[in-house]
């Protein structure tokens, strides 16, 4: 293998040459304690920065295997290292003078959630790999390799040693990180055994600092479970932890405006992920198949069987194989429910703030005036119990303005000055005094999920496929923008980038004209869980900038991809 000396020589030699001479640096170089690989070199100083990775052998990195053998701990350690590495990299405030992205050193920015990312990978033998981007410096289009030498030789070696070698890390801190992951995993495993859909520990801080910051709000009211719902879980490291156990079934969250209902629901939505220490939601753990359901006017729907909720449309449209390019509030929400069922969810999370009213309820007077037979919509309220009894899908629903769900809920919480109160008994009594017309609906047929993906002619093996991620909002694949703004449980733009490559991968390798969408997504998920994201990155190197999405969001992405033919 070439060594750092070879690289230094090469860089010195190409100084002042034209930018393309940087291409010669591609390759791996042995540095002291690690291998530096220049995986891809940018074509010019204004293009996307070059891809560089660092590989520290297990022996040198020196992490005890107990810290990375189990998946959840490995993910937590990877996350820890990438944050540590990014913090070190930030101290690199030297700005290479030069054109375009000269001297830019960029490492994934992690938010509050702990996600698997291509930015850091720990192999089972303990090898640590960190991937980043570096803008190779130039003046105009003339190579300024002296600045790159500063980055690769003066700065990076220290950065690697300080952040990727166990010996230089704070061991207690690393241990604490692993213990938190273990405790979080333990709660996840306990949820079904305790018959719970979610757990919110006492003392949790749910609200965020602001609309643009996901850090915990300072001086927030800490969460406290009502006594009647309190459960205590004996965690392997933390010991006994008490909090609110939300039982499987139907849970209604009510309360005056601004009392913290949506904040609680939002925390539950993101409880599918583990959160970092200090977040305030470390011990808010939700069934990790949970799906937020909302109205999404304008989305496209392909072959969804929404007949459970919508029938006899006045235009005679088929609702067993429902298709539209521009769904209404109610049809989009119906499709979101059915598609969530297709992903195998155990829990739906709904906020009345973002729901279509006509999908959620029909009030009594309306029922009297407009006969059921002339109403195409069977509202969610008439199916919510069936979803639980037939499909074992629980619902947690925020409803501040309609009391109709009092009749259906197993548990009713009132948020009062940001604290939950169990008002089930009282609300049930009141509801008893206000009976609803007894007009039971017929149970629905099991929705059909048999949606075959037509073998795709969008593009072929060697086509250049353009992928672009637009923040948390959408992915662009060739000319189509897949709108994911309302897929609210996507936590990070790197997950959207992954969805982009998954859409491409599935079209090239999985869709064969025979598989159903569900079979195809299952196959993708199998590949992801056995081989990780790197398995779907085409090309001869693995880039940074990709984070693992859940099966539910992969489905959601395909469901919104208009070019997909079902
Ligand atoms: P609702 O859905 O009941 O109308 P929200 O959940 O939107 O209320 O909360 C209203 C406001 O109160 C938000 O600005 C939120 O940040 C703040 N808030 C929520 N929970 C807390 C809390 N525990 N402590 C302090 N402020 C909170
Ligand atoms: Mg609200």
Write down the residue that tokens 């189990």 correspond to: 70
**What pLDDT score does 457 carry?**
62
Give residue-wise pLDDT tens across range 425-457.
999 999 988 887 767 889 999 999 999 998 766
Alpha-carbon distances, residue 133 vs 37, 53, 104, 115, 136 (angstroms):
11, 8, 8, 19, 9
Contact between 92 and 148 (Cβ < 8 Å): no
Q: Which ligand is nearest to the CA of 418?
A: 1
Take atom 5 of ligand 1 and give the residue whose Cα is closest: 260
Give residue-wise pLDDT tens across range 12-65.
999 999 999 999 999 999 999 999 999 999 999 999 999 999 999 999 999 999
Percent of the chain clearing pLDDT 90 (strictly above): 87
pLDDT > 90? residue 539: no
Position 303 confidence tier, pLDDT thresholds 50, 70, 90: very high
Q: Are residues 164 and 260 in the same domain?
A: no
**What pLDDT score does 321 carry?**
95
Take atom 10 of ligand 1 and give the residue whose Cα is closest: 258
Position 94 confidence tier, pLDDT thresholds 50, 70, 90: low
- Ligand 1 geometric centre to CA of 258 (Å): 6
Say if strands 239-247 and 230-235 run parallel, antiparallel, or are unpaired. antiparallel
Rounded to 10 deg, the angle between the 551-559 and 329-342 helix axes is 140
The minimum-distance atom of ligand 1 relative to the CA of 400 is 3
How far out from the chain centre does Cα 369 lie? 44
**What pLDDT score does 538 carry?**
84
How many C-beta atoms lie closer than 10 Å to residue 9's C-beta? 12
pLDDT > 70? residue 458: no
The minimum-distance atom of ligand 1 relative to the CA of 256 is 3
| Sign, CA torsion 457/485/524/549 | positive
Q: Which domain holds residue 506?
A: 457-559
The minimum-distance atom of ligand 1 relative to the CA of 208 is 16
What mean pLDDT value characterizes the chain? 95
Residue 535 to residue 528: CA distance in whole angstroms:
7
Q: Is residue 360 part of a domain?
A: yes
Alpha-helix residue ranges (DSSP H) falling in 482-532: 493-505, 517-531
- Which of 427, 447, 467 corresponds to the end of one domain? 447
Q: Are residues 210 and 342 in the same domain?
A: yes
pLDDT > 90? residue 267: yes
pLDDT > 70? residue 463: yes
Q: Are residues 463 and 439 in the same domain?
A: no
Q: Are residues 231 and 350 in the same domain?
A: yes
Give residue-wise pLDDT tens across range 380-437.
999 999 999 999 999 999 998 888 999 999 999 999 999 999 999 999 999 988 887 7
CATH number of the domain that residue 235 is part of: 3.40.50.300
Q: Is residue 176 part of a domain?
A: no
Contact between 397 and 356 (Cβ < 8 Å): no
Percent of the chain clearing pLDDT 70 (strictly above): 98
**What pLDDT score does 447 carry?**
96
**What pLDDT score does 350 carry?**
98
- Ligand 2 geometric centre to CA of 393 (Å): 23
Q: Which ligand is nearest to the CA of 351?
A: 2
Tokens of residue 2, six digits? 């070439």
Query: Which of 200, 205, 207 for mutating ligand 1's site (highest number of atoms within 8 Å of CB)?
Result: 207
Q: Is residue 516 part of a domain?
A: yes
Q: Is residue 564 part of a domain?
A: no
Q: Is residue 357 part of a domain?
A: yes
Nearest to 157 by CA among 85, 50, 80, 228: 85
**What pLDDT score does 196 carry?**
98
- Which of 447, 474, 500 corresponds to the end of one domain? 447
Q: Are residues 337 and 406 in the same domain?
A: yes
The DSSP string of 279-315 is SS-TTEEE-TT-EEE---TT--EEEE--TTTB---TT
pLDDT > 90? residue 90: no
Nearest to 277 by CA among 112, 117, 107: 112
**SS3 state of residue 430:** helix
CA 120, 269, 272: angle at the middle one, nearest 5? 40
Q: Is residue 422 part of a domain?
A: yes
Q: Is residue 550 part of a domain?
A: yes
Q: Are residues 404 and 490 in the same domain?
A: no
Instruction: Check pocket membership of 418 for ligand 1, CB cut-off 6 A.
Output: yes
Q: Are residues 428 and 543 in the same domain?
A: no
Position 561 confidence tier, pLDDT thresholds 50, 70, 90: very high
Q: Are residues 333 and 227 in the same domain?
A: yes
pLDDT > 70? residue 233: yes
- Which of 406, 423, 447 corresponds to the end of one domain? 447
Query: Which of 203, 208, 263, 270 for mutating ligand 1's site (highest number of atoms within 8 Å of CB)?
Result: 263
Q: Are residues 473 and 427 in the same domain?
A: no
Dihedral of the alpha carbons of 479, 483, 489, 490, in degrees to the nearest 10: 30
**What pLDDT score does 93 carry?**
60
Q: Are residues 223 and 312 in the same domain?
A: yes
Q: Which ligand is nearest to the CA of 415?
A: 1
According to DSSP, residue 442 is labeled: P
- Minimum mean pLDDT among 95-99, 125-129, 167-171: which range? 95-99
Q: Are residues 260 and 371 in the same domain?
A: yes
Q: Is residue 183 part of a domain?
A: no
Take atom 27 of ligand 1 and give the residue whose Cα is closest: 207
Q: Are residues 442 and 474 in the same domain?
A: no
Number of domains forming the structure of the chain: 3
Q: Which ligand is nearest to the CA of 264?
A: 1
Instruction: Check pocket membership of 221 for ligand 1, CB cut-off 6 A.
Output: yes
Q: Average pLDDT in the 297-320 region? A: 94
């Amino acid at each position: 293998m070439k060594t750092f000396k070879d690289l230094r020589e090469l860089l010195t030699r190409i100084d002042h040459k034209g930018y393309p001479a940087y291409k010669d640096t591609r390759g791996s170089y042995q540095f002291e304690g690690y291998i530096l690989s220049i995986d891809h070199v940018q074509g010019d100083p204004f293009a996307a920065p070059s891809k560089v990775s660092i590989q520290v052998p297990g022996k040198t990195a020196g992490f005890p295997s107990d810290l990375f053998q189990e998946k959840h701990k490995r993910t937590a350690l990877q996350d820890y290292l990438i944050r540590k590495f990014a913090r070190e990299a930030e101290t690199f405030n030297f700005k290479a003078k030069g054109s375009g992205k000269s001297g830019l050193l960029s490492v994934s920015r992690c938010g509050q959630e702990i996600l698997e990312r291509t930015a850091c990978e720990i192999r089972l033998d303990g090898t640590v790999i960190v991937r980043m981007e570096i803008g190779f410096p130039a003046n105009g289009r003339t190579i300024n390799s002296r600045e790159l030498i500063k980055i690769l030789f003066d700065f990076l070696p220290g950065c690697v040693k300080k952040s990727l070698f166990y010996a230089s890390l704070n061991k207690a801190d690393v241990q604490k990180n692993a213990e938190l992951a273990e405790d979080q995993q333990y709660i996840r495993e306990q949820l079904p055994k305790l018959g719970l859909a979610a757990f919110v520990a006492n003392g949790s801080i749910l609200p965020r600092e602001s609309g643009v910051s996901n850090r915990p709000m300072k001086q927030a009211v800490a969460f406290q479970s009502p006594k009647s719902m309190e459960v205590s879980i004996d965690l392997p490291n933390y010991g006994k932890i008490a909090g609110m156990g939300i039982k499987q079934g139907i849970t209604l969250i009510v309360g005056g405006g601004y009392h913290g209902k949506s904040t609680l629901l939002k925390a539950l939505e993101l409880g599918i992920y583990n959160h970092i220490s200090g977040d305030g939601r470390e011990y808010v753990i939700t069934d990790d198949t949970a799906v937020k359901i909302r109205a999404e006017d304008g989305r496209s729907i392909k072959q969804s069987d929404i007949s459970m909720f919508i029938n006899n449309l006045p235009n005679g449209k088929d609702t067993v194989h429902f298709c539209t390019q521009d769904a209404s509030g109610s049809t989009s929400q119906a499709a979101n429910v059915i598609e969530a069922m297709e992903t195998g969810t155990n829990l739906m999370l709904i906020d009345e703030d973002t729901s279509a009213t006509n999908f959620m309820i029909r009030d009594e007077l309306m029922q009297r005036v407009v006969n059921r037979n002339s109403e195409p919509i069977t509202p969610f309220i008439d199916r919510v119990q069936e979803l639980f009894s037939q499909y074992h899908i629980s619902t947690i629903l925020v409803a501040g303005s309609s009391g109709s769900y009092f009749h259906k809920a197993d548990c009713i919480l009132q948020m009062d000055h940001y604290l939950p109160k169990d008002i089930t008994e009282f609300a049930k009594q009141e509801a008893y005094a206000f009976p609803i017309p007894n007009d039971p609906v017929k149970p629905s047929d099991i929705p059909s999920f048999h949606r075959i993906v037509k073998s795709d002619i969008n593009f072929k093996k060697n086509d250049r496929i353009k992928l672009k991620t637009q923040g948390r909002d959408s992915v662009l694949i060739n000319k189509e923008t897949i709108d994911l703004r309302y897929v609210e449980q996507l936590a990070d733009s790197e997950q959207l980038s992954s969805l982009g490559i998954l859409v491409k991968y599935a079209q090239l390798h999985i869709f064969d004209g025979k598989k159903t969408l569900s079979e195809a997504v299952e196959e993708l998920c199998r590949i992801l869980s056995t081989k990780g994201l790197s398995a779907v990155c085409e090309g001869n190197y693995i880039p940074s900038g990709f984070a693992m999405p859940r099966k539910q969001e992969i489905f959601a992405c395909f469901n919104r991809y208009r070019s997909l033919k079902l």
